[in-house]
Chains A and B, each alone.
Chain A
Amino acid sequence: MSIIRTIKGKNTWVFSGLIIFTLFSIVLSITYGPATITSADIFQCVINECASPMHDMVIWQIRIPRVLVGLAAGMGLACAGAILQNVTRNPLADPYLFGIISGAGLGATIATLVVSDQQSLTLPLAAFLGALFSVVIVFGIATLLRNMNHLLLTGVAVSFMLGSISHFILYLGDPFATNRVIFWLMGSLARVEMFHFYLIGAMVLITLLTIFALHRQIDALLLGDESAASLGVNVDKLRLILLALCAAVTATIVAYCGGIGFVGLMIPHIVRQLVGVTTMPLIIGSALVGGCFLVWVDVAARSALSNVEIPIGIITSAIGSIFFLAIMYRTRKTG
């Protein structure tokens, strides 16, 4: 009900536009890729039967999984970023603040250099375990310090610590394997399958449903811990649930897509400009914009150069850094 209220409110046009653009993005992005397939061929494939087995394979086993995983991963990262920024009241918080990318990188490094067989299975599993390991360390230290406000600094410290271990292992490792780990850390949707969409999609859905259930308490947190507590919110418990949820969804995305930077940091900032800071519109808007953003970035990654694929993290980081410089410039002018 509150979702309908959110969409029906003053942001009706914004959300209508975003929903239409998301559907349009999903359909149109399937037409881009290195294989030469016309829109008519794709339409025929989706509606009836593909003209050739080649079309069937490319569309159903490569492109559609890529588009759907891109959409789910973009939604997950953007929502996690939005929630973290609201929960920590820190505009610079992002899903990687727990050192997740460094932990996943360490897991991937160990899997690539130690286990040479079955890497399509071992690498994501090791990356996921590495990501969770970093989250546990960050939470453990923050709990030990009895100060959740130190979470961001703890995440930075743990990132550097795990990063240095990875670099040391890579330094001693085989050059080819080292190259592959470095490429993996840059992020890519090239290896995804429908199974990954179901997994990431399920995690994103659980995250969204939990946030929808707790959106009033999260809004109360925006007023400050004391105000939230006076309204009957168990601040520490709520914060822990949301942080654990964000960590789990980010770790799942990183395990299958590698390190995709800036999405969780940048998208919520854009959405706040459109719909404000309240949790429900912010989360729905972030999910739609984040999903569309990653779908189109992946289109650029697979189509911009004819013979090679560009790592998706390179594009998101490039856009993200320009975006931040622009924001700083604007703040300087208005401030």
Chain B
Amino acid sequence: MKLTHCLALVLSSVLFITNAQANNSESKLVTAIATDKPRIIALAPHIVEMLFDIGAGEQIIAATEHTDYPLAAKKIPRIGSSLRIQLERVIELQPDLVIAWQSGNPSDDLARIKQLGFNVVYSQPDSFEDVAKELRLFGKLSGHSEQAERVAAKFLADLASIKQQYGQKKPLTGFYEVWSRPLTTIAKGSWPQQFLDICSISNPFIEADARYPQVNIEQVLQSHIDIVIQPLSESQTGKDGYDWQKWSILPAVKHQQIITLDADVVHRMTTRSLHALTDLCQQADKSREYYQNSNGT
């Protein structure tokens, strides 16, 4: 019992210290940024989108390739891609703040930008709750705290309402197709898995070793798949998706329960992801109704 108390005390102390350090570094950064309206370089499309959401879009002076939302973001100068940042351009633009995507930007470039003396803050939203957290952080850093707070609060309220509406539905088994060649799906810890959890869709590959495992069609055929979820981006055509029609052994194919989503909205960690979440939950609900009415399960 005493040991349990000690462990609890140590753990809570560690958590308190970690939290205090995070808050401390955050406030240090706010102090380091010498201006109310800092000029920002945003190194990922989702960061740009979040900054526009909180009213800081006009402060973005550069972004990376594939930044295409909102429409105004297309005019922002580009300074590289997820593979390489043009350091010379970063220096030339002299930003007050660089917001980088921790897992999506080259770490050696980020280390170099930091070494050159620029203020770098990292974005790594792994869940919907993280999106709200980062909206608030970007609000503080960009001088738009009030608007960021409003957007984050609305985002969390909408999320709670969707969870309440769809969280207790009868589970369906779904296959989520990230890519068709090679056939790739999702597992525990991936960004789209939370969509399936909230919409009461079970994933037969949830326990796979990788977050985005490549699977053999034989493994898929062994599972009883009620729905296939196939996100496609605007630039992709139906040909880019996997051709499921050959596999009528799967209930999802036999009953044509193939759900198409906008990949650019689902896979981007922003407030728009809730639109994709609602869309998926609604389409999954229609499939549930279909199976109930036709006794297809």
Could you list which residues of chain A lie within 8 angstroms of chain B, going by C-beta atoms? 33-36, 54, 57-58, 61-63, 116, 119-120, 123, 171-176, 179-180, 183, 188, 190-191, 193, 302, 307-309
A176 to B89, CA, bound (A): 23
Q: How far is the CB of A302 from chain B (nearest CB, A)?
A: 8
A57, B116: Cβ atoms under 8 Å? yes
Complex interface: chain A residues within 8 A of B92 (CB): 34-36, 54, 58
> Which B residue's beta carbon lies closest to that of A33?
B88
Could you list which residues of chain B lie within 8 angstroms of chain A, going by C-beta atoms? 65, 77-84, 86-89, 91-92, 94, 103-104, 106-109, 111-112, 116, 209-212, 214
A63 to B92, CA, bound (A): 13
Complex interface: chain B residues within 8 A of A176 (CB): 82, 103-104
> Which B residue's beta carbon lies closest to that of A191?
B108
> Which A residue's beta carbon lies closest to that of B184?
A175
Q: How far is the CB of B253 from chain A (nearest CB, A)?
A: 26
> Which A residue's beta carbon lies closest to that of B92?
A35
Complex interface: chain B residues within 8 A of A308 (CB): 65, 78, 80-81, 84, 86
Complex interface: chain B residues within 8 A of A120 (CB): 107-108, 111-112
> Which A residue's beta carbon lies closest to that of B84?
A309
Q: How far is the CB of A293 from chain B (nearest CB, A)?
A: 22
Most A C-beta atoms less than 10 A away, residue of B80, B84, B109: B84
Q: How far is the CB of B210 from chain A (nearest CB, A)?
A: 6
B88, A174: Cβ atoms under 8 Å? no
Complex interface: chain A residues within 8 A of B88 (CB): 33-35, 58, 62-63, 302
Given A34-B88, A308-B84, decide whether A175 and B78 contact each other with a Cβ distance below 8 A: no
Given A119-B108, A180-B83, A191-B109, decide whether A174 and B212 contact each other with a Cβ distance below 8 A: yes
- Ranked nearest first, the 8 interchain pairs of A and B with the lowest CB-CB distance are A35-B88, A307-B78, A35-B92, A119-B107, A120-B111, A120-B108, A183-B83, A309-B84
Complex interface: chain B residues within 8 A of A190 (CB): 84, 87, 109
A183, B84: Cβ atoms under 8 Å? yes
Complex interface: chain B residues within 8 A of A58 (CB): 88, 91-92
A309, B86: Cβ atoms under 8 Å? yes
B107, A54: Cβ atoms under 8 Å? no
B108, A34: Cβ atoms under 8 Å? no
A193 to B87, CA, bound (A): 12
Q: How far is the CB of A42 from chain B (nearest CB, A)?
A: 13
A4 to B129, CA, bound (A): 71
B86, A174: Cβ atoms under 8 Å? no
Q: A63, A172, A191, A307: which contacts B209 (Cβ < 8 A)?
A: A172
> Which A residue's beta carbon lies closest to that of B213?
A172
Given A57-B116, A172-B210, decide whether A123 and B83 contact each other with a Cβ distance below 8 A: no
A307 to B116, CA, bound (A): 21
A179, B84: Cβ atoms under 8 Å? no
Q: How far is the CB of A169 from chain B (nearest CB, A)?
A: 11
Complex interface: chain B residues within 8 A of A119 (CB): 107-108, 111
B94, A61: Cβ atoms under 8 Å? no
Q: How far is the CB of A57 from chain B (nearest CB, A)?
A: 5
Complex interface: chain A residues within 8 A of B86 (CB): 34, 302, 307-309
Most A C-beta atoms less than 10 A away, residue of B65, B77, B106, B211: B106
A34, B106: Cβ atoms under 8 Å? no
A61 to B91, CA, bound (A): 10
A201 to B210, CA, bound (A): 41
A179, B116: Cβ atoms under 8 Å? no
A35 to B214, CA, bound (A): 41
Complex interface: chain B residues within 8 A of A302 (CB): 86, 88
Complex interface: chain B residues within 8 A of A183 (CB): 83-84, 106
A61 to B88, CA, bound (A): 9
Complex interface: chain A residues within 8 A of B78 (CB): 307-308
Complex interface: chain A residues within 8 A of B209 (CB): 172
B65, A35: Cβ atoms under 8 Å? no
> Which B residue's beta carbon lies closest to that of A186?
B83
A179 to B83, CA, bound (A): 7
Complex interface: chain A residues within 8 A of B83 (CB): 179-180, 183
